[in-house]
Amino acid sequence: MWKVTVDREKCQGCGECVESCPGEVYALRDGKAEPVNPEECHGCHTCEAVCEQDACHIEEDD
């Protein structure tokens, strides 16, 4: 299992994580990314790589 978090202070709502996540983990709400399907995360780290704001993070949660 992976824990998915977004720092709302840092997130600029660019949508890159929403577009690039293969698990459709994120959605934009009120101009910020939210992990709406965190159970679909499989730890590929793509969202962290594409986020220029260093706003979204995943960590192993077992």
By the rule CB under 6 A, 6 interacts with ligand SF4: yes
47 binds ligand SF4 (CB under 6 A): yes
Candidate residues 5, 39, 42, 61; the one interacting with ligand SF4 per rule CB under 6 A:
42
The DSSP-derived string for 17-61 is: HHHH-TT--EEEETTEEEES-GGG-----HHHHH-TT--EEEEE-
- Which residues bind to ligand SF4, rule: CB under 6 A? 2, 4, 6, 11-17, 21-23, 25, 33, 41-47, 50-51, 53, 55-56, 58
